[in-house]
Amino acid sequence: MVASKPLFAGDYQGGQFFDIFHTQGSNPTANWKLSGSKPAKKVYEKAVKSYVYCCEGGPTCKMQLPNDELKTMTLLQPYLVFQLYLPTGQHFSLELSVSDTSGIRRR
CA distance 72 to 83: 22
- At 10 the pLDDT is 67
CA 42 to chain CA centroid, Å, is: 13
- pTM > 0.85: yes or no: no
Phi then psi dihedrals of residue 50, to 5 deg = -165, 170
- At 6 the pLDDT is 66
Rg value, the chain, Cα: 15
Is pLDDT of 86 > 70? Answer: yes
Is pLDDT of 13 > 80? Answer: no
Is pLDDT of 1 > 60? Answer: no
CA distance 4 to 74: 12
